Amino acid sequence: MLTFRFLSIAVLVVSSLAAPSTPSGLVHTPHGLRDASVVHEVPGGSKIRQIDSKTFHVISKEGSVLKTVKVNPEADARAPSPTTGDAPVPLQTGWVALAHYFNRDVPIGSFASTWSVPPNPAANHGQVLFLFNCIEPGSGNAILQPVLQWGRSAAGGGAYWAIATWYLSPAGTFHTPLINVNVGQVLSGGIGLIGVSSAGFSYFAAFTNIGDSTRLDAINGDELKWATVTLESYNIQSKDDYPTGSTVFSRTNLQLTNGGFPNINWATVSDTADNIITTIQTQGSTAAVITITY
């Protein structure tokens, strides 16, 4: 039986050791289950440009239009729920452990964190694990994130660690091709504001120590305000489906567009029933240290 627990920050946590199997026609993404028809792989360096409220263009790094995508809410019925309080409610996801901050100051200019690829899980029951830093708008209808995954997601993968950058938009879910990584490899996930115009806010996300093959730009969207570092998991049957030990997100920096660093007190969510715990070793917006223990 699924165990649901509402936290005070209004994030719904699904008990990870009782996760359901994947319903037919849906695929795992690092922001919940999605209809496979609305998930698009795009080349590294691509731009997802919002043209109007119903139309998005996928643009190559050379500037050509690769694809036109129309908003289809009926095909993506599991889009993120609206904001409740200070945090979007990630219904239909397995966000089991996270640290989060909702920015009420001038816009975020950059958000970065560094972590290492964990050991492989001891067991393989078809589980899917995602580890990432991300930013969402206050509405919760989008998310931009450089993601480390283990298992098979909509982007592919298997019983190994791999990385890709993802952008979930109102038009659907976009991701760069998966790149395999090694246990112990250091990853630096970065998200930054490119510019602001009358059409909206434009951001990039990438594993900045890997290169443009992981870069994805989100052009003309809403301001991104809700920053998190997160463990998300699906189809967990035992503790052996997780790595051993913990993942430390170090050098976690959040800077505003005016050059300032806000006074951040990271809030946490943990799956205490399954002993998946988020702790803050160092608070703040410069060199914060956040640990997720399995």
Q: b/e per residue, 246-284, with b = 16+ CB within 10 A?
A: ebbbbebbbbbeeeeebebebbbbbbeebebebbbeeeb
Position 94 pLDDT exceeds 90: no
The residue with greater pLDDT, 171 or 16, is 171
Position 80 pLDDT exceeds 90: no
* pLDDT attached to residue 191: 98
Q: What is the mean pLDDT of residues 197-215?
A: 96
Residue 147 confidence class, pLDDT cut points 50, 70, 90: very high
Beta strands 83-84 and 267-269, pairing class: unpaired
The residue with greater pLDDT, 14 or 175, is 175
Instruction: Compute the C-alpha angle 24/29/37, nearest 5°.
Output: 55
- Cα 138 from Cα 43, distance rounded (Å): 28
Q: What pTM was estimated for this model as a whole?
A: 0.89
Beta bridge partners of 232: 95, 130
**Order of strands, sheet of 288-293, starting from the edge strand that comes earlier in the sequence:** 65-70, 55-59, 46-52, 216-221, 200-207, 186-197, 108-116, 246-256, 288-293, 277-282
* pLDDT attached to residue 92: 44
Q: What is the mean pLDDT of residues 183-206?
A: 98
Looking at the chain, the whole-number percentage of residues with pLDDT higher than 90 is 72
Looking at the chain, the whole-number percentage of residues with pLDDT higher than 70 is 85
Average pLDDT over all residues of the chain:
87
Position 13 pLDDT exceeds 80: no
Residue 75 confidence class, pLDDT cut points 50, 70, 90: low
* pLDDT attached to residue 169: 87
Q: What is the mean pLDDT of residues 166-190?
A: 95
Q: Residue 121 has which token pair?
A: 């899980």
Spell out the domain ranges in the chain: 4-293
* pLDDT attached to residue 76: 52
Q: What is the mean pLDDT of residues 244-251?
A: 98
Residue 86 confidence class, pLDDT cut points 50, 70, 90: low
Q: Which amino acid is at 64?
A: S
* pLDDT tens sequence across 164-176: 999 998 888 999 9
